[in-house]
Amino acid sequence: MVGLGYIGLPTAAVIARSGASVLGVDIDRDVVETVNSGKVHIEEIDLDGLVSGVVARGLLRASTTIEPADVFVIAVPTPFGPEHEPDITYVLEAAAGIAAVLKAGDTVILESTSPIGTTERVAALLMERRPDLAIPGHCAGTADVAIAYCPERVLPGRILVELIDNDRVIGGITPRCARKALHFYRRFVRGACVTTTARAAEMTKLTENAFRDVNIAFANELSVVADTMGIDVWEVIRLANRHPRVNILSPGPGVGGHCIAVDPWFLVHGDPENTRLIRTAREVNDAKIAHTIARAEALAEAMPEAPIACLGLAFKANIDDFRESPALKVALHLARRFGPRVRVVEPYATSLPAAFADTGAELVDLDTALESCPAFVVLVDHDIFRSVPLEERADKRVHDARGIWPDQPHIAPSDLPLQAAVGGVHGR
Ligand code: SAJ
């Protein structure tokens, strides 16, 4: 397993549990040492127990160097550059490392979310580095190795369940490659394993996350319209969803995480002229962050001197992952502007992220915030925030970007100088 991150480590551990001997490879020495001591460097439900068990049984070990194996799985990051262009450097570096130890009979599988054509690039790289081997797509007759694309599709917070239960889409450079990869996934996947081409599998992964992004953008656009009209968007969505063929997702402070806010750009970059909807959805979701900041600022300005509670920093509910989090961006903006007035509540953090240093903002628990803050900005729908009963917050003034408190007394739009505030905020 090349890459021991949010996908690679759980996948390596699950494969090891199936009885295979697994080597996890990572460029980060700390990660390698942590795993070899039976510990984990990421939070995911049940992962620590699973990893300590398979390491103790000698089924999983980690190294900074790729060693010969029968199956290679690449699960490394694929970030994007300043123009949203996909960066597959880590994938190609992993493939180069594999090329050095590849032998006839091996299978190479790419799992990283990738722009269309990346698996073919991996095949081309292997052909260049290993002219002694017959590489699929580059040889007549039976190839010596199999190369396939099989995207991960697991939801953070449910990774160990979804790794087993979700269906898998397996795209081979040739049908024979897909069959060899399928044989591998059958070891530990209970869901259906469906085979196709590498390119179709690559596009399928991007399509899934673009679908979600577009649908969240629809909800976010509605929320802004409802806001300017003084209508409760949550009520409108609840009512509209009573229609048998309408199922609107939830608005929020923007879209975070390292998948849904990134992957649609891979589609846009591949065919900019024909992806107007997908691009616009990205822009709508990014703009929702600035809108949330404007609404929160308006609330803070309407209550000069009052302490403001910001509920949540994570990119979504009930996880400790703050990467690309709109909640964090909003809270940080407020901390920079209002300093010590800002009290952040984040049960999944033991201290505020470094970016908050020198802002004067502090991390407090929920009870302290309820006791000391008359203004609340709800940024994450953690269960613990949802559970606050009305009597504990009836006298608060709230901007609820997640709709977790539908019974909260309404603040008249005239009380909040929204238009002025929105006009005053640029970018994130
Ligand atoms: N969000 C909303 N409103 C909603 C749903 C989500 O604002 O109604 C926001 C969340 O708060 C969060 C962001 O969207 O900021 C993304 O959260 P998510 O739960 O939709 O997805 P991720 O990023 O945790 O995981 C997604 C999943 N993809 C799909 O559901 C199509 C997961 O299955 C993928 O494996 C993962 O991306 C990935 O790794 O690509």
Whose structure tokens read 């929702």? 288
Task: Identify whether 259 is a catalytic site residue.
Answer: yes
How many whole angstroms separate alpha carbon 193 and alpha carbon 187? 11
pLDDT for the residue 415: 54
pLDDT tier at 411 (50, 70, 90 boundaries)?
low
Confidence tier at 423 by pLDDT (50, 70, 90): very low
In this structure, which topology does domain 8-198 adopt according to CATH?
Answer: Rossmann fold (3.40.50)
What pLDDT does residue 126 have? 98
Least confident of 1-15, 148-162, 411-425: 411-425
Q: How many CA atoms lie within 13 A of 315 on its CB side?
A: 15
Residues 6+ away with beta carbon under 8 Å from 227 = 233, 291, 295, 418
Residues 6+ apart with CB under 8 A from 351: 363
Pair 53, 203: CB distance under 8 Å: no
Interatomic CA distance for residues 129 and 239, integer angstroms:
59
Q: Judge whether residue 157 has pLDDT over 90.
A: no
Phi, psi of 255 (to 5 degrees): -110, 130
- Can you give the pLDDT at residue 417? 47
Residue 161 CA neighbour count, 13 Å, CB half: 6
Please name which of 166, 144, 147, 146 lies closest in space to residue 155, comparing C-alpha atoms: 166
- The CB of 249 under 6 Å from ligand 1? The reply is yes
The catalytic position among 177, 259, 310, 373 is: 259
Cα separation, 254 vs 300, in Å, equals 20
CA of 184 to the centre of ligand 1 (A): 27
Ligand 1 and 100: CB distance under 6 A = no
Centroid of chain to Cα 142:
38
Residue 84 near residue 42 (C-beta atoms within 8 A): no
Domain definitions of the chain by residue range? 8-198, 228-427
Q: Is the pLDDT of residue 184 over 50?
A: yes
52 pLDDT exceeds 80?
yes
Name the residue of 209, 234, 313 whose CB sits within 8 Å of the most ligand 1 atoms, as the mutation to test its pocket: 209
Q: CA dihedral in degrees (234, 237, 239, 240; nearest 10)?
A: 170
pLDDT bucket at 258, cuts 50 / 70 / 90: confident
- The residue whose two tokens read 């996909």 is 86
Average pLDDT over residues 15-40: 98
Can you give the pLDDT at residue 124?
Answer: 98
- Average confidence score pLDDT of the chain: 94
What's the rounded Cα separation, in Å, for the pair 10 and 15? 9
Mark 201-216 as b/e (b = at least 16 C-beta within 10 Å): bbbbbbebbbebbbeb
pLDDT at site 213: 98
Strand, coil or helix: 168: strand
Domains 8-198 and 228-427 share a fold: yes
Q: Does the domain at residues 228-427 carry the CATH identifier 3.40.50.720?
A: yes
Q: How many residues does the chain have?
A: 428
Q: Of 117 and 42, which is predicted with more confidence?
A: 117
Query: Which is the closest atom of ligand 1 to the Cα of 152?
Result: 35
Report the percent of the chain where pLDDT is more than 70: 96
pLDDT > 90 in the chain, percent: 92
- pLDDT above 50: residue 55: yes
**Nearest residue CA, atom 39 of ligand 1?**
259
CB 256, CB 326: distance < 8 Å: yes
| Alpha carbons 414 and 240: distance in angstroms, whole number | 27
Q: Spot the catalytic one: 150, 177, 193, 205.
A: 205
What per-residue confidence (pLDDT) applies to 16? 98
Place of tokens 């949330």: 292
Query: Which pair of structure tokens corresponds to residue 80?
Result: 């994007």
Residue 68 has pLDDT above 80, yes or no: yes
Quick one: pLDDT band at residue 427, thresholds 50, 70, 90? very low
Q: What is the pLDDT of residue 43?
A: 85
DSSP string, 382-407: -HHHHT--GGGTTT-EEEETT---TT
Q: Is any atom of ligand 1 closer than 6 Å to the C-beta of 256?
A: yes
Ligand 1 contacts CB of residue 212 (under 6 A): yes
**For residues 23-42, average pLDDT:** 97
pLDDT tens digits, one per residue of 268-310: 999 999 999 999 999 999 999 999 999 999 999 999 999 999 9
Reading the block at residue 91, the tokens are 């994938």
Q: Is the shortest distance between the CB of 215 and ligand 1 below 6 Å? A: no
Supply 162's token pair: 């979804």
